[in-house]
Amino acid sequence: THHFLRYAPEQVDYAIGRYSKETARLYGVMDARLAKHEYLADEYSIADIATFPWVARHEWHDIALATYPNVLRWFKAIANRPAVQRGMAVPN
């Protein structure tokens, strides 16, 4: 979604609507999974490492993490890991 909201040279309502719905669906899938598991793949793994930067840009997707309490819990836990904090501090 964030491509169409932030980078597309023109606003295309269909694309924004389509991918906003898909993004919300995927956050719902993650929230359901995280309701039963601490991490996306039962233990901290590449699944969490690869997904975290996308969720860190949730505002770019027009997603309120409070809507997905299990994703929010997971996000805070991952964000508190020292290695993640160091990685997120690397300049663009």
* DSSP per-residue string spanning 26-72: HHHHHHHHHHH-SSTTSSS-HHHHHHHHHHHTGGGGT--GGGSHHHH
The pLDDT value recorded for residue 92 is 59
Residue with tokens 């997905």: 68
Fold assignment, 2-88: Glutathione S-transferase Yfyf (Class Pi); Chain A, domain 2 (1.20.1050)
The pLDDT value recorded for residue 27 is 96
Residue ranges covered by each domain of the chain: 2-88
Average pLDDT, the chain: 92
Amino acid at 22: E
Amino acid at 71: V
Q: Is 60 left (phi over 0), alpha (psi -120 to 50) or beta?
A: alpha
Which residue ranges in the chain fall short of pLDDT 50?
Answer: none
The pLDDT value recorded for residue 46 is 97
The pLDDT value recorded for residue 33 is 98
- Asked if 91 and 70 count as a contact pair (C-beta separation under 8 A), the reply is no
